[in-house]
Chains A and B, each alone.
Chain A
Amino acid sequence: MSVFNQSRGGVIQIGFGLVFFIIIGQLINLQVFSTKYKLAAENNAIYRKVVYPDRGIIYDRHRKSILENTEMYDLVVIPVEARGVDTMGLCKLLEIDTIEFKKRLKDIAFKNGSVRPSVFEPLLSPEMFARLNENIYRFNGFSLNERSARIYPYNTAANILGYIAEVDSSFLRKHKDEGYETGDYAGMTGLERYYEKILMGRRGVKRFVRDNKGRIQDPLDNGKYDTTAVAGKNLHLNLDVELQQLGEKLMTNKVGSIVAIDPRTGGILCMVSAPTYNPNYLTGNQRRKHYGELALDPRLPLLNRTVSTKYSPGSTFKTLVGIAGLSEGVINESSRIGCSGAFYGCGNGKPKCLDPGYFNLREAIAHSCNTYFATVFKRILDQPQYGGADSGLKKFNTYAASFGLGKRLGVDVPSEKNGNLPTSPFYRKIFGRKWNSCNIISNSIGQGEVQTTIVQLANVMATIANKGYYYTPHLVDSIEGGDENHLLDSFKIKHVIKGVPDSVYEDVQNGMQAVMEFGTGAEAKVPGIVVCGKTGTVQNSAKVNGVMTKQKDHAFFGAFAPRDNPRIAIAMICENAGFGAASSAPIASLLIEKYLKDSIVGKERNARVVELTNKNLIPPLMKAALARMDSIRMVKLGLLQPKEVEPEDSIEEEVKIDSSASGGGSLIEEKEAPPVPKKQPQKPAPSNRSSAILPDNRKPKPVKKNVQ
């Protein structure tokens, strides 16, 4: 039409161009300059899935697997798909009621959304799994998901192997930089804890694309950025599982511990802490049922007494006093010291002596003569060249320390205690500047402030057996695929005792052999094997209702065998079992026989096994505590009248009494009690609780593998 309008075509074109220019400006702003959209896209759409590797397997010295993995199953539900499912039928199979069913489903939908799979019932028992597996096709939206769980095929060495558990917030805080996340499982005690880094393996991460409802679609970029999970490394132990089992069997209904070491390598052959528990009780879905019960048990089954409990070593300590005396030259092998029934070197007739006589070192060890060793100890401390008990004690302590006492040995299980080797500053505080050897004379017979753990005592036996050297006792012999973290390096260092000539060990070994031939340990002879041993009987007392009351003696025994080329060194204690030769020595002798001969030979010896197994040596204080706990429970269940129990009896109090009761010596016992949950289990079954954890009552749990 009109010509002037033609220019308007150009205006329109410029207008179009301008608008496109603005659009491109905004695109540059969005796509190039703002980074928040990329980040938001990542958060939106990428799902990191952690792939858990299998934990490492633990083998004993004969390559028997004593801790391995098994497949367990979780029942998993996707709530939206589970609508209209046969609720009654499923509830029947799961043994829950429909109200519980609906509640769980509601909780899941609330917590995790209703389109994502969530665990409905974790870690099904094998029977439950079998039942569900046959019927799962009937229940839309439900499926069975495999997951790995720990299993202990020999039901043994619970305290040593330890257990894994879901990490809690305090664990996460403590191990902040180690990459744990809520929901992870980690080793909590025992080898599972100590070798966690090696057993856990390396987790893999898979990245998935997630849709707008949180459903997983498929791998991001075909898994280009994924890392694969690396299985945990297997551990090979020095432990002999049969020896361990025999040890646990013999310690049935007793409180105490046994440690046996191969003196040549320092490898721990067995490590029994009694009472123990069935380790399978703390795996999978069993854990919920049993943990509270175990944690509250007054016998402290979760405590590893071999490393975490300190005892006065008693007469077993005399071997060390003898070695120090000989090395210092205050006696020689033929020095004789008379004993008239007590030690009068300090004028008060203490300690007393059981067998009067005129003994040389060999006889003194054989008869465990208190006077003899008190004299030797006094002589060491009062040596004129040291000019006082202060320096004398220091000298004596260097001997004791070189044998591994007074400090942690570095055993590869957690919560090892250091024992106690009292020093002169400590005594100066108690007795003042001018203290003398008589103040601490009870140390000479292992009764004073000296405290050791059983593993330290076993190490002393191994050192005497080796005539002057030891390797740090350790459970793990080798790590499959190499020890990259250098965890085993310290076990390859030979600790040599200086300043003690071989002849000294010969003399002490003579005495220890005599113990087994005609001395205090004569009852514990092993047919055909030359055993060197030393018994110990330790007085102890416990606070009962606030009053220190003398308790039955602790029974100690330390030994090694055979005398030439020793292959086993052993130390053990039976708490409150009386004379050391009556319980501890025979048990140790059976273990030595089992290890050296591979089996217990002969009717009489096997009868001994049965006899010792059946002996109930549970300390009376613990029995009382157990009985009280039972009656409190009975009251709670309404089976007894409340008036039959005193109202002020609380369980916490009982546990306290117990922990002091098992202490030795006059010092306050330190003990690491397992964490006690604040809440008590609501309704434990009253029928079998008092004996549920003991080895004699353990029923081997049927473990079905590959149920499918």
Chain B
Amino acid sequence: MADTIRRNDKKMAQGVDWVIVWLYALLVGVGIMCIFMVEYKPGVNIASSFLSGKTNYSKQLMFTSISVVLAMFILLADSKLFTAFANLLYAFGILLMLATFVLGKNINGSRSWISLGGGFNLQPAELCKIFTSLALAKYLSRQETDFSKLQSQIIGAIIALSPAVLSILQNETGLALVYFSFFVVMYREGLPPGLLVIGFSFGVLVIATLIVEPNILAVILTLIAGATIYFTKKARKRNKNLLVTIITVWVVCVGVQRFAVPYLFDNVFQCYQSTRIFSMVGKDYDCSQNKSAQKRIVDKEKAAKKPDDYNVRQSKIAIGSGGLIGRGFLKGTQTRGKYVPEQHTDFIFTSLGEAFGLAGCVAFLGVYLFLLIRIINTAEKQRSVFSRVYAYSVACILFFHITVNVCMTIGLFPIIGITLPFISYGGSSLLGFTILLFILLRLDADRNMVLR
């Protein structure tokens, strides 16, 4: 009996990357500290309130213990389990997401939660990130998959984006965007870089549309197209299709700029979403043009609210007031006064920025960057494609969450409900990221095995 335990211990510890485990512990610890800063009230017995289970930080502590137990189970599990169940889990995840449409509970305006009873709610989209990573890894590691073929690329994209579509349908746009980070993984596995360039150019075009006067932008685009035609005289002679391509690109660009983007903002997005995106680039959005807002007025529901960037403003004030070295632990007035809404979840970074200033933020982001680079290095060490793809998925998901969340609090990105991994309060988020990371550690421990 004792023998078995020792063997298990050995097995569990063997090959595990302890640096990542310590980074994980550090981040979770910082997270609990941040939640404590947000909720701290002077004169409360700290020890008892930590154990009471009533405050968010004590709940987070509880989630942490559950996560630790779960992490141990994962480390004890067999790596083959993950490859074996990858597709099944993915199917289960999609099913859960579909189930939300029936059983879903409306929290903060999105029907993406399933009530588990006892005050706990599960967000399937959060879990589905793990399942999608596994499924994508499984698909790409199949021997018969040749990812240089367009067909495989499209299948990969479908695997990655199906949960995103469901997420958008649940009105949880933020989480849907996470799934686009799988394109970075696919880029590593051979997706032509042109696609990413096109995607990036498209992003630039959309932002330019928001900032620049439509007619001026159209003129600029036309000039670029004309210049390209002029400078590719020789190439065009060799390749007759080039002119057609250039003209098509020009037509698409102008079409996007003149019609698609306004249509998107007026008809697809909710008024508040359009407002947030516009406010990020420093513009006001006229909600009276928004179809959903108009519909609301027609439905005699609440009139469209005045555009308000209260969240970002308060968040920027909190971070900005931190200065170089911060105001000190528990001394941030913005945090203490609860000026930043949702500070314990999506805006947790503000409490850190106010209390510890630029120095604290840089150190904190350094820890994150170190973790990400370490994960990518780990990925490149893998012998099996499954493990590598999975590791890249983990890195990309974490990267997307971190950058979007931080950019959101400092006004570089519109506000979408994206948590800060390991830091933000919330059981779903913490458990999700713990599972994600520890599966990677388990796979990495067995990196000499060939998994498919």
A696 → B minimal CB distance (Å): 58
Closest residue of chain A to B147 (Cβ to Cβ) is: A1
The answer to whether A212 and B322 touch across the interface, beta carbons within 8 angstroms, is no
Query: How far is A32 from B184 in the complex, measured between Cα atoms in Å?
Result: 33
The answer to whether B399 and A16 touch across the interface, beta carbons within 8 angstroms, is yes
Q: Could you give, for residues 332-373 of chain B, a 1 whenever the CB lies within 8 Å of some chain A CB and a 0 otherwise?
A: 011011110000000000000110011001100100110011
Using a CB-CB cutoff of 8 Å, which residues 278-334 of chain B contact chain A? Answer: 314, 316-324, 331, 333-334
Q: If the complex has contacts A9-B376, A27-B410, A30-B319, are A45 and B189 also in contact, measured as CB distance less than 8 A?
A: no
Closest residue of chain A to B379 (Cβ to Cβ) is: A9
The answer to whether B317 and A44 touch across the interface, beta carbons within 8 angstroms, is yes
Using a CB-CB cutoff of 8 Å, which residues 13-40 of chain A contact chain B? Answer: 13, 15-17, 19-20, 22-24, 26-28, 30-32, 34, 36-38, 40
Using a CB-CB cutoff of 8 Å, which residues 540-559 of chain A contact chain B? Answer: none
B184, B338, B392: the one contacting A211 at CB < 8 Å is: B338
Query: How far is A1 from B139 in the complex, measured between Cα atoms in Å?
Result: 13
Main secondary structure of the interface of A (DSSP, over half): helix
The answer to whether A31 and B322 touch across the interface, beta carbons within 8 angstroms, is yes
Q: If the complex has contacts A8-B188, A20-B369, are A211 and B337 also in contact, measured as CB distance less than 8 A?
A: yes
Q: If the complex has contacts A5-B190, A9-B379, are A45 and B334 also in contact, measured as CB distance less than 8 A?
A: yes
Query: How far is A42 from B334 in the complex, measured between Cα atoms in Å?
Result: 9
Using a CB-CB cutoff of 8 Å, which residues 384-406 of chain B contact chain A? Answer: 385, 392, 395, 399, 403, 406
Query: How far is A566 from B214 in the complex, measured between Cα atoms in Å?
Result: 100
Q: Could you give, for residues 161-191 of chain B, a 1 whenever the CB lies within 8 Å of some chain A CB and a 0 otherwise?
A: 0000000000000000000000010011110
Query: How far is A37 from B357 in the complex, measured between Cα atoms in Å?
Result: 13
B380 at the interface (CB under 8 A from A): yes
The answer to whether B42 and A218 touch across the interface, beta carbons within 8 angstroms, is yes
Q: Which residues of B contact A421 (CB under 8 A)?
A: none
A4 → B minimal CB distance (Å): 9
Query: How far is A16 from B181 in the complex, measured between Cα atoms in Å?
Result: 12
A445 → B minimal CB distance (Å): 76
Query: How far is A30 from B324 in the complex, measured between Cα atoms in Å?
Result: 10
The answer to whether B337 and A44 touch across the interface, beta carbons within 8 angstroms, is yes
The answer to whether B365 and A20 touch across the interface, beta carbons within 8 angstroms, is yes
Query: How far is A13 from B188 in the complex, measured between Cα atoms in Å?
Result: 11
B375 → A minimal CB distance (Å): 10
Query: How far is A25 from B35 in the complex, measured between Cα atoms in Å?
Result: 26
Query: How far is A19 from B368 in the complex, measured between Cα atoms in Å?
Result: 12
Q: Which residues of B contact A34 (CB under 8 A)?
A: 320
Q: If the complex has contacts A19-B403, A31-B324, A37-B321, are A209 and B412 also in contact, measured as CB distance less than 8 A?
A: no
B444 → A minimal CB distance (Å): 15
The answer to whether B323 and A212 touch across the interface, beta carbons within 8 angstroms, is no
B319, B333, B403: the one contacting A45 at CB < 8 Å is: B333
Using a CB-CB cutoff of 8 Å, which residues 238-263 of chain B contact chain A? Answer: none
The answer to whether A44 and B334 touch across the interface, beta carbons within 8 angstroms, is yes
The answer to whether A41 and B318 touch across the interface, beta carbons within 8 angstroms, is yes
The answer to whether B317 and A37 touch across the interface, beta carbons within 8 angstroms, is yes
Closest residue of chain B to A211 (Cβ to Cβ) is: B337
The answer to whether A220 and B317 touch across the interface, beta carbons within 8 angstroms, is no
Q: Which residues of B contact A26 (CB under 8 A)?
A: 407, 410-412
Q: Which residues of A contact B358 (CB under 8 A)?
A: 27-28, 31-32
The answer to whether B188 and A41 touch across the interface, beta carbons within 8 angstroms, is no
Q: If the complex has contacts A20-B369, A28-B358, are A212 and B339 also in contact, measured as CB distance less than 8 A?
A: yes
The answer to whether A23 and B337 touch across the interface, beta carbons within 8 angstroms, is no
A525 → B minimal CB distance (Å): 75
Query: How far is A307 from B58 in the complex, measured between Cα atoms in Å?
Result: 73
The answer to whether A41 and B317 touch across the interface, beta carbons within 8 angstroms, is yes
Q: Which residues of A contact B189 (CB under 8 A)?
A: 1, 5
Closest residue of chain A to B318 (Cβ to Cβ) is: A41
A20, A42, A221: the one contacting B331 at CB < 8 Å is: A221
Query: How far is A2 from B147 in the complex, measured between Cα atoms in Å?
Result: 10
The answer to whether A46 and B353 touch across the interface, beta carbons within 8 angstroms, is no
The answer to whether B353 and A31 touch across the interface, beta carbons within 8 angstroms, is yes
Q: If the complex has contacts A37-B317, A41-B333, A44-B334, are A16 and B190 also in contact, measured as CB distance less than 8 A?
A: no
A12 at the interface (CB under 8 A from B): yes
A210 at the interface (CB under 8 A from B): yes
Closest residue of chain B to A217 (Cβ to Cβ) is: B336
Q: Which residues of A contact B399 (CB under 8 A)?
A: 16, 19
B310 → A minimal CB distance (Å): 10
A66 → B minimal CB distance (Å): 44
The answer to whether A5 and B334 touch across the interface, beta carbons within 8 angstroms, is no
The answer to whether B362 and A27 touch across the interface, beta carbons within 8 angstroms, is yes
A5, A16, A37: the one contacting B188 at CB < 8 Å is: A5
The answer to whether A210 and B365 touch across the interface, beta carbons within 8 angstroms, is no
Query: How far is A631 from B222 in the complex, measured between Cα atoms in Å?
Result: 92
A6 → B minimal CB distance (Å): 7
The answer to whether B372 and A16 touch across the interface, beta carbons within 8 angstroms, is yes
Using a CB-CB cutoff of 8 Å, which residues 197-232 of chain A contact chain B? Answer: 209-212, 217-218, 220-221
The answer to whether A23 and B320 touch across the interface, beta carbons within 8 angstroms, is no
Q: If the complex has contacts A8-B188, A28-B358, are A41 and B406 also in contact, measured as CB distance less than 8 A?
A: no
Closest residue of chain A to B368 (Cβ to Cβ) is: A20
Q: Which residues of B contact A12 (CB under 8 A)?
A: 184, 187-188, 376, 392, 395
Q: If the complex has contacts A12-B376, A220-B333, are A24 and B339 also in contact, measured as CB distance less than 8 A?
A: no
A28 → B minimal CB distance (Å): 6
Query: How far is A590 from B360 in the complex, measured between Cα atoms in Å?
Result: 83
Query: How far is A28 from B359 in the complex, measured between Cα atoms in Å?
Result: 10
Query: How far is A1 from B361 in the complex, measured between Cα atoms in Å?
Result: 38
Q: Which residues of B contact A22 (CB under 8 A)?
A: 412
Q: Which residues of B contact A1 (CB under 8 A)?
A: 147, 189-190, 385
Q: Which residue among B187, B188, B320, B323 has the maximum number of chain A CB atoms within 10 Å of its CB?
A: B320
The answer to whether A27 and B361 touch across the interface, beta carbons within 8 angstroms, is yes
A358 → B minimal CB distance (Å): 93
The answer to whether B337 and A16 touch across the interface, beta carbons within 8 angstroms, is no
Q: Which residues of B contact A17 (CB under 8 A)?
A: 369
Query: How far is A357 from B443 in the complex, measured between Cα atoms in Å?
Result: 137
Q: Could you jot down 25 A-B contacts, CB within 8 Å?
A: A2-B148, A5-B188, A5-B190, A9-B380, A13-B372, A16-B373, A24-B361, A26-B410, A27-B353, A27-B361, A30-B320, A31-B353, A31-B357, A31-B361, A32-B324, A38-B320, A38-B321, A41-B317, A41-B334, A45-B334, A45-B336, A46-B333, A211-B339, A218-B43, A221-B331
- B: residues with CB less than 8 A from A are 42-43, 147-148, 184, 187-190, 314, 316-324, 331, 333-334, 336-339, 353-354, 357-358, 361-362, 365, 368-369, 372-373, 376, 379-380, 385, 392, 395, 399, 403, 406-407, 410-412
- Ordered nearest first, which 10 A-B pairs have the shortest CB separation? A37-B320, A41-B321, A45-B333, A45-B337, A211-B337, A30-B320, A31-B358, A40-B317, A212-B339, A38-B321
Q: Contacts A16-B369, A217-B337 given; 5 further ones with Cβ under 8 A?
A: A1-B147, A34-B320, A37-B321, A38-B320, A41-B334
